Chains A and B, each alone.
Chain A
Amino acid sequence: MRFAVTVFPGSNCDIDAIHAIKDVLGESVTAVWHKESDLSKYDAIILPGGFSYGDYLRTGALAAHSPVMEGVREAAEKGKLVIGICNGFQILLETGLLPGAMRKNDHLQFRCSIPTLRVENNETPFTLQYREGELIQIPIAHMEGNYYCDEVTLAELKRNKQIIFRYAGENPNGSIDDIAGICNRNRNVLGMMPHPERAVCDWMGSSDGMKLFTSMLQYWKENYGAA
């Protein structure tokens, strides 16, 4: 399976995502500079965390207009897997590939911790190796993870089972309905504030994030034959 990790000026979790895919998952991965718009070579695209363009104007807003996002949009339309982590999630919201918007954490502080999440829907390419309702520990590190959408959108997200992860304990940012991660209606675009790439070895504090990547791999093998 061929992964791409997009790199914007100010991305800083790109190397962690590459490490998780290459060294832990053992799949091929390429860092793709934000000026490239052709992503047709790749089966899955990771938009990593960080502070693209310094988070200036609004988190993710400036990155959302870079050439590589055209490639991401095309990939999403073709049914390829797209995952936005933290800043990547914020970028997906700004491009409209996922509904809603991000606000500052309700306590107004940056928060780095390892919260417990509940897997709300395991019938997606990203979560098929988890059990529904499984409690997993995945680190967070953000200032703006306070997910917001209006009532109508929220009802729709619930109806379509697009809410993939919720915070199971304390909500670390004030997000609506304790949302930690959502997907699109086609289930092939996932945005999440927690960082699965930071939870791939026990010594990191948790290895619960690994199943997200192995789920993607399994999905791809089952649906497209080759690895």
Chain B
Amino acid sequence: MFKATIFVTLKDSVLDPQGVAVKGSLHSLGFVQVQDVRIGKRLEVLLDSESREQAEEQVQAMCEKLLANPVIENFAYEVEEVA
């Protein structure tokens, strides 16, 4: 069994209105050091793949096909073997 942890984030060029709002709130709470906030998603996917290579291939495909929208989002992932 493999566990893929997938991170989907907005591309740097795309404004993140939620991030802007959170930054504002952090500033008003006194965290004035905060320069930027970007909000993304973390997905955990459990796969019954034959090998790590196969699992990575599948995760790459599912990110491209569904989990991230290439127009506005980037993705990255880690795959680890679990019991």
A binds B: yes
Give A contacts to B, CB under 8 Å: 57-58, 61-62, 65, 93-94, 99-101, 103-108, 146, 148-150, 174
User: Per a CB cutoff under 8 Å, which of A57, A105, A108, A174 touches B66?
Assistant: A57
A107 to B66, CA, bound (A): 27
User: Per a CB cutoff under 8 Å, which of A94, A105, A108 touches B69?
Assistant: A94
A101 to B69, CA, bound (A): 8
Query: Are the CB atoms of A148 and B18 closer together than 8 Å?
Result: no
* CB<8 Å pairs between A and B, sample of 11: A57-B67, A58-B69, A65-B65, A93-B71, A103-B17, A106-B17, A108-B21, A146-B17, A148-B14, A150-B13, A174-B17
Residues of B within 8 Å of A146, CB to CB, are 17
Residues of A within 8 Å of B72, CB to CB, are 101, 103, 148
- Of residues 15 through 43 on chain B, the ones whose CB sits less than 8 Å from some CB of chain A are 15, 17-18, 21
Summed over the interface, the residue pairs from A and B with CB atoms below 8 Å come to a total of 36
Give B contacts to A, CB under 8 Å: 13-15, 17-18, 21, 65-67, 69, 71-72
Q: B16 to chain A: closest CB distance in Å?
A: 8
Residues of B within 8 Å of A104, CB to CB, are 17-18
User: Per a CB cutoff under 8 Å, which of A105, A107, A108, A148 touches B71?
Assistant: A148
- Among A57, A62, A100, A149, chain B packs the most CB atoms within 10 A around the CB of A57
Residues of A within 8 Å of B21, CB to CB, are 108
Q: A184 to chain B: closest CB distance in Å?
A: 15
Residues of A within 8 Å of B69, CB to CB, are 58, 61, 94, 101
A101 to B14, CA, bound (A): 10
Find the A residue at minimum CB distance from B43: A57
Q: B63 to chain A: closest CB distance in Å?
A: 12
Residues of A within 8 Å of B66, CB to CB, are 57, 61-62, 65
14 new A-B pairs (CB below 8 Å) besides A65-B66, A100-B71?
A: A57-B66, A65-B65, A93-B71, A94-B69, A99-B71, A103-B14, A103-B15, A104-B18, A106-B17, A107-B17, A148-B71, A148-B72, A150-B71, A174-B17
Q: B57 to chain A: closest CB distance in Å?
A: 19
Residues of B within 8 Å of A105, CB to CB, are 17
Query: Are the CB atoms of B67 and A101 closer together than 8 Å?
Result: no
Q: A142 to chain B: closest CB distance in Å?
A: 14
A199 to B72, CA, bound (A): 32
